[in-house]
Amino acid sequence: MARLFGTDGIRGLANGDLTPELALTVSAAAARVLVAHDSSHRPVAVVGRDPRASGEMLQAAVCAGLTSAGADVMQVGVLPTPAIAHLVAELNADLGVMISASHNPMPDNGIKLFAAGGHKLPDAIEDEIEALVGRPGTRPTGTGVGRIYEISDALDRYIAHLLKATPHRLDGLRVVVDCANGAAWAAAPQAYREAGAEVIAIHALPDGENINDGCGSTHLDAVRAAVLAERADLGIAHDGDADRCLAVDAAGELIDGDQIMAVLALAMREAGDLADDTLVATVMSNLGLHLAMREHGVELRTTAVGDRYVLEELRGGGFSLGGEQSGHVVLPGHATTGDGLLTGLRLMARMTDTGRTLADLAGVMRRLPQVLVNVKVADKAAVAASVSVSEAVAAVESELGETGRVLLRPSGTEQLIRVMVEAPTHDTAEAAANRLAGVVSSAG
C-alpha cells in the first residue's frame, strides 16, 4: 500500500482521493500522536488554508478531527504556508495544519503538517500518524473536547515578522506582484507596501476557483506583460500557497530560484551572514550557479530534489541559505520553511541597498542552457546497472568538461529516467541529451 504522506504532506483530488473523511481521521490521528508524546497539556493546533473552494470543506473536517481528539484549534483563515509555520512558533502551538495544494490546479488540495516550532513533521511522526488513521481510539467527552478559536490578527502578526526580517526599506521601487489568486492575495501586496515599495497587484482577487489559473509562478507571461506595461523595476510571482518566489527584471526576463539564491548568497556573504560561506541547493540547480559561487568563494552543497532535503541539510549543517531552482528559498535565521514573501522582500532590499537593477544583480550568474528528456523504461534498476549507460554518460561528461553537466535521475513514482544535460549552447545540450536518452531507452 502506498504511503499516505508524500514529500510535501498529503495531496490529491479534493473530495476524490482527498476526502473530508480522510482529513478528519488524519487530523484526529495527529492529535492522538501529540497526546501520546506529551500528555501534560491539551494540544493546540494552528489551522490555515489557501482560497480554493474545497479548502472550506477540508478545514471543517480538519478542525472536527482535531477537536474530537481533544486538541484546541486556532483558525487563522487564508494565509500563506510559511505564515502557518511562523504562527505555530509564535503562538507556541504543538501543531500546524495548512490546507493547500500549492501550485497544483484548483480541483486538487492537500494537507501539510508542521511540528512545534514550525518545522516540517519528521518522517517518524508521519509514520505514527499514518499507523493510527482509521483505527478506533478513545475519544474525550465533556470538557475534554477541543475548542475552536479565531485568531483575528494572524495576518498582521505575519507581516510584522516579515518586516522585521527585511534589512532595508524598499522606497523608490515599483513592483508588480502576481498573487496567483492564492494565499498571498492580501499578504504580499500589504507586506511589500508596508516595506516602502509601490505595488501593482495582479491576480489578487481569489474566488475559490481561479487559483493558479494561468497565473502565478507557473505562468509568468502575465507578470512579464504587467512589468513592461507599468514600467516597473521588477515583477514577483508567487504560487498558490506563496512558499515560492520567482522574479522578472525590468525587461521581463526570468530571474529563477538559482539566480535569486546567487544574489542573496553574495549579499549575505558581504554582510557576514552566510554561515560557513555555504549555500545549499539541489542537484537540479543550474551549473551556472555552481560556477558563480565558485568564482566568489562560496561553497555549494547539493541535496536530492525536494525542499525537505534542503531543509535537512540546512539544519544539520547550521547553514543560513538554501533552496531550489523552482523558487523555494529558505532563510533559516528567519523562517523554518520556504517563504516566497520573505524571499521577495530580501531580493528587493538588495536592490535598494546597492542601487543596482535586478538584471545587473542577477548577472553574477549565467544560466547555462538546460535540456531535460524523460525516458520511459521497463526497469529503472537495469538502467542504473547498465555498463553502456555509464560509458555513454562518461563520454558526454568528457566532451563537456567543466563547461557542462550530466544528470540521470530515476523518477520516484514512475518507470522513467530523467536525462538532464547542461552545456554552453542549447543545441549542444539537446544533442547530448537525445544521444543519452537513446542509450537509456535501449538499456531499460
CB contact set of 155 (below 8 Å; sequence gap of 6+): 77, 79, 83, 186, 187, 190
pLDDT tens figures, 361-371: 999 999 999 99
Give me the pLDDT at residue 414, please.
77
pLDDT tens figures, 322-337: 999 999 999 999 999 9
Give me the pLDDT at residue 413, please.
64
Lookup: cell for 38: 506529551
Over 90: is that where the pLDDT of 409 sits?
no
Give me the pLDDT at residue 384, please.
86
Nearest Cα to Cα of residue 57 among 105, 95, 18, 17: 18
Alpha-carbon distance values, 211 to 18, 48, 101, 158, 289 (Å): 18, 16, 10, 22, 31
Which amino acid is residue 102, in one-letter code? S
Q: Which helix (H) or strand (E) holds 234?
A: strand 234-237
Over 90: is that where the pLDDT of 444 sits?
no
pLDDT tens figures, 197-217: 999 999 999 999 999 999 999
Q: pTM of the entire structure?
A: 0.92
Q: Which long-range contacts (CB under 8 A, 24 or more apart) does 306-315 make?
A: 306/7, 306/8, 306/282, 307/8, 307/243, 307/337, 307/338, 308/7, 308/8, 308/120, 309/282, 310/280, 310/281, 310/282, 311/119, 311/120, 311/336, 311/337, 313/280, 314/280, 315/119
Over 90: is that where the pLDDT of 305 sits?
no
Nearest Cα to Cα of residue 326 among 374, 254, 263, 414: 254
| Number of residues assigned to the chain | 444
Query: Per-residue confidence at 412, pLDDT binned at 50, 70, 90?
Result: low
102 is an active site residue: yes
Cα separation of 145 and 125, whole Å?
23
Mean pLDDT over 305-318 rounds to 91
Could you tell me if 208 and 230 are in contact, meaning their C-beta atoms sit under 8 angstroms apart?
Answer: no
Query: Per-residue confidence at 2, pLDDT binned at 50, 70, 90?
Result: low
Mean pLDDT over 235-244 rounds to 97
**Average pLDDT over the chain, rounded to an integer:** 95
Over 90: is that where the pLDDT of 440 sits?
yes
Burial 255-267 (b: 16+ CB within 10 A, else e): bbbbbbbbbbbbb
Nearest Cα to Cα of residue 437 among 368, 370, 369, 372: 372
Query: Per-residue confidence at 136, pLDDT binned at 50, 70, 90?
Result: confident
Over 90: is that where the pLDDT of 390 sits?
yes
Over 70: is that where the pLDDT of 16 sits?
yes
Cα separation of 335 and 86, whole Å?
7
Could you give the percent of the chain with pLDDT greater than 70?
Answer: 99
pLDDT tens figures, 83-129: 999 999 999 999 999 999 999 999 999 999 999 999 998 889 999 99
Give me the pLDDT at residue 35, please.
82
Cα separation of 128 and 191, whole Å?
38
Q: Reading across the β-sheet that carries 278-282, which strands appear in turn?
A: 299-303, 278-282, 322-323, 329-330
Give me the pLDDT at residue 39, please.
83
Could you give the percent of the chain with pLDDT greater than 90?
Answer: 88
Over 80: is that where the pLDDT of 178 sits?
yes
Cα separation of 440 and 435, whole Å?
9
pLDDT tens figures, 52-77: 999 999 999 999 999 999 999 999 99
Lookup: cell for 83: 505564515
Give me the pLDDT at residue 111, please.
97
Over 90: is that where the pLDDT of 342 sits?
yes
Catalytic choice (54, 68, 102, 326)? 102
Mean pLDDT over 223-244 rounds to 98
Q: Which residue has the cell 521588477?
A: 234
Q: Which helix (H) or strand (E) holds 416?
A: strand 416-422
Could you tell me if 233 and 331 are in contact, meaning their C-beta atoms sit under 8 angstroms apart?
Answer: no
Mean pLDDT over 258-282 rounds to 97
Query: Per-residue confidence at 306, pLDDT binned at 50, 70, 90?
Result: confident
Over 80: is that where the pLDDT of 49 sits?
yes
Lookup: cell for 389: 549507460
pLDDT tens figures, 140-168: 999 999 999 999 999 999 999 999 999 99
Query: Per-residue confidence at 14, pLDDT binned at 50, 70, 90?
Result: very high
CB contact set of 106 (below 8 Å; sequence gap of 6+): 52, 53, 209, 210, 211, 212, 213
Q: How many CB atoms lie within 10 A of CB 17?
A: 12
Over 80: is that where the pLDDT of 291 sits?
yes
pLDDT tens figures, 124-135: 999 999 999 988
Which amino acid is residue 9, in one-letter code? G
Cα separation of 235 and 197, whole Å?
12
